[in-house]
Amino acid sequence: MAYTKELSRKLYRDLLMLRLFEKRLIDLYAAGKIPGHIHSGIGEEAAFAGTLATKKEGDYFKMSHRDIGASSLLGVSLETMFAEILGKTAGNSGGRGGINHISELSRGMLGFSGTLGCDIAVAAGAGLTIQNRGGDNIVYVYFGDGTTSRGPVHEAINLAAAWKLPVLFVCENNQFAISTPVSEGVPVKNTAADRAPAYGIPGRVADGTDVFAVYEAAEELTREIRQGGGPAILECKAYRWRGHFEGDQARYRDQTEADRWIKKDCVQKMETWLLEKKMITETEIEEMRAEFEAKLDAAVIFAENSPEPAPETIYDYLYA
Amino acid sequence: MLVTYGQAIGDAMKEEMRRDEAVVLFGEDVAEFGNIFGLTRGMVEEFGKQRVRNTPISETAIVGSAIGAAVTGLRPCAELMYSDFTMVAFSELFHCCGKWRYMHGPEYKLPLVIRSAMGSSFGAGAEHSNCVESLFMHAPGLIIASPSTAYDAKGLLKEAIRSDNPVLFFEHKQLYQVKEEIPDEEYTIPFGVADVKRRGTDVTIIAVGLMVRRALEAAEKLKEEGIDAEVIDPRTLAPFDKDTVFESIRKTHRVLVAEESNKTAGIGAELAALIQEEQYDELDGPVVRVAALDVPIPYNIALERFAIPDAEDIAAAVRAMFA
């Protein structure tokens, strides 16, 4: 596939933003500023940047607990995001939902269930709305390899396949369900894609450290879905660089293997490629970084200055 | 018009589907089969397969997809065949339906209804006979309706379909064939408004579901014995109409709660706690609970009957309050 400079730079820009966002989260967590837990998505950014580059106006999204920075690729402001992360009034739920529930319906975001897997059928339901309404919009739903072992995931994919709903199921296979290697908990090589034939739908595996590979697979699958071909599964193979949550030292894993994966850094890879192709300069990269860091600084300051929610508002948003 | 409770429920769905294109119906065997109790018969013919869909046997996907459909603009009226099966999708109901708006903010509305048939029905067995309202009373964010008459069932279901909140709608299987005269003209019933099914002065009986009928039977017996019972049906357990109940208590000073779920941690447990907290000075005695025995509902008909309160059990408990 030949890539334009514009698309290549956009993919890199998105990857870099996700990476810097994740790094900022780790710093904030280390500084004790985040009330809850964070689940780092460093190393898995390509699954989001690559697939979301195929989105269209009017699509729906069920995001993940990793790479939550991807919400900003959908248009959520960094100010809203950090306010929610810090549990402040200016967050989308005023700090009631927290870091994993950054969501704006106006951006097509469906919401997230902290009980992983319970929200996969939510994506199918949004697919039902699209199907009833007509048009070529689709739903993107993200989940990890660990979640594929849950029953509700089967029910959701089965329903979506039976009803030919326009849903792209994106599995970010980062090799671990918390501490358990995917090979220990799953009897097939590719936990999501290998099961696609059982639902009679397309299943593809992409190198999740290569944003072009993810983009190409997503582009092909989403084109078929948009044409009414029914759902598909895309499994992006990458590696969780850090522990399940910040604070988890990940002593259960083989450091040699981790180092091997870390060398395949999706951000670095793209940077090298762009430089080789002369689509970007070192200076431009530095400027891009500085621009993101400045935006992150401003968003964090905004969030820190946002008021704490008042106790008397505790029942707000419970009922419509 | 004269309709059964089951017909009233079917009519409510049909009227709402005619009124609003966004209303869709899905669940196990709701299309050509017309639901196992025949409630949705004729609907796929009238509204088409797009709006009336059979689902696979997938309770978590039924509830989960109802959430996704509701958030994005449809108004799903989904069905879980037996209320016992709500437990298969407990996480989707308790966490997702109840908390979704709270966790994600005021942009999110969940205009969805989960209808489910509940209660004993002559030998249906321990996993097809439960009343489960109390399990969900513990979950913030849900509306819980449990109608006891055709009139209430129709008005509450129409209200539920129009509501922007997630509603669990429990229908009692033994009431499906009960006939009743209801108005021809359209009506809805707001949530959180109890109905005084019988006026009385001596004791307040708060009864739910099938127990409303049994409490009314008990009240007739008691009348002959000189005890005038007031029977209140909360109709929705969340929100719960404290005002109507407390007003009655301030008149009678005695309260009994009649329910079909297991006694421990049931509806009566919650209401007894609530009433003693807020109306202690009005009470002439402890709040009495009449409920199913703390056993799985047995298959054997005699044992099943023994496990679940009847009118005489309620009457006997009231007599004991005056002894």
Domains and CATH numbers, chain B: 2-181 (3.40.50.970), 195-321 (3.40.50.920)
- Other CB atoms within a 10 A radius of the CB of residue B174 amount to 16
One-letter amino acid of B81? M
Confidence of residue A80 (pLDDT cuts 50, 70, 90): very high
> B165 and A317: CB-CB below 8 Å?
no
What does pLDDT average to over chain A? 97
> Out of B63, B71, B165, whose CB is closest to A111?
B71
User: Are residues A115 and B95, on separate chains, in Cβ contact within 8 Å?
Assistant: yes
CB-based contact, B169 to chain A, within 8 Å: no
B253 part of contact set with chain A, CB < 8 Å: no
Residue A230: pLDDT band by 50, 70, 90 thresholds?
Answer: very high
Q: Find chain B residues with C-beta within 8 A of A126's C-beta.
A: 68-69, 71-72
pTM of the predicted model, to two decimals? 0.97
Flag whether residue B57 sits within 8 Å of chain A, measured between CB atoms.
Answer: no
Helices assigned H by DSSP within B72-149:
90-91, 98-104, 133-137
* Minimal C-alpha gap between A223 and chain B (Å): 22
Tokens read off for A36: 């809850």
Who's near A247: CB < 8 A, 6+ residues apart? A37
The separation between the first and the last C-alpha atoms of chain A, rounded to the nearest angstrom, is 48
Q: Using a CB-CB distance cutoff of 8 angstroms, which residues of chain A are in contact with residue B68?
A: 60, 62, 110, 121-129, 139
Q: Is B90 on the interface with A (CB under 8 A)?
A: no
A82 alpha carbon, distance to own chain's centre:
17
- Chain B residue with the nearest C-alpha to that of A97: B103
B107 interface with A at CB cutoff 8 Å: yes
Q: Residue A133 has what pLDDT?
A: 96
The average pLDDT across A235-245 equals 96
Q: Quote the percentage of chain A above a pLDDT of 70.
A: 100
Catalytic-role residue among B95, B128, B138, B172: B128
B17 CB within 8 Å of a chain A CB? no
Active-site residue flag, B138 = no
Tell me whether B60 touches chain A (CB under 8 Å). yes
Sequence length of chain A is 320
pLDDT in tens, chain B (323 residues): 999 999 999 999 999 999 999 999 999 999 999 999 999 999 999 999 999 999 999 999 999 999 999 999 999 999 999 999 999 999 999 999 999 999 999 999 999 999 999 999 999 999 999 999 999 999 999 999 999 999 999 999 999 999 999 999 999 999 999 999 999 999 999 999 999 999 999 999 999 999 999 999 999 999 999 999 999 999 999 999 999 999 999 999 999 999 999 999 999 999 999 999 999 999 999 999 999 999 999 999 999 999 999 999 999 999 999 98
CB A316 within 8 A of CB B140: no
Helix (H, G, I), strand (E, B), or coil: what is residue B108? coil
The whole-angstrom separation of Cα A140 and Cα A128 is 13
List the domains of chain A with CATH numbers: 5-306 (3.40.50.970)
Facing residue for A125 by CB, picked from B68, B95, B164: B68
Nearest to A125 among B67, B106, B109 (CB): B67
DSSP class of residue A109?
Answer: B
pLDDT (0 to 100) of residue A2: 84
Residue A237 Ramachandran class (φ > 0 left, ψ -120 to 50 alpha, else beta) = beta
Look at residue A1 in the predicted model and tell me its pLDDT: 75
C-alpha to C-alpha distances, A48 to A42, A74, A154, A224, nearest whole angstrom: 12, 11, 22, 19
Q: How many CB pairs (< 8 A) connect A and B? A: 160
